[in-house]
Amino acid sequence: MVQSTDGGSDHPQLLARDRHVYLSWRAQAEGYRLIDVTDAVPPNGALAAAP
């Protein structure tokens, strides 16, 4: 899990730019968040769904 919130939030979006991957989302309690999740992506780029 990258982030969570106790309040309402919109749908997170993954964004890519300059070999970085970011998670963009807005949460009611925390406001707008842009989190660099590049290191969370496996080197082969394959992402597995959470169980």
For range 12-33, the mean pLDDT: 86
Q: What is the pLDDT of residues 9-22, one digit of tens each?
A: 678 888 888 888 89
Quick check: 36 pLDDT over 70? yes
Which pLDDT score, from 0 to 100, does residue 8 have? 73
In the DSSP assignment, the letter for residue 25 is E
Evaluate if residue 45 carries a pLDDT over 70.
Answer: no
Query: Using CA atoms, how far apart are residues 7 and 11, in angstroms rounded to an integer?
Result: 13
Q: pLDDT confidence of 25, banded at 50, 70, 90?
A: confident
| Every domain of the chain and the residues it spans | 7-40
CA 13 to chain centre: 7
Residue 7: is its pLDDT beyond 80?
no
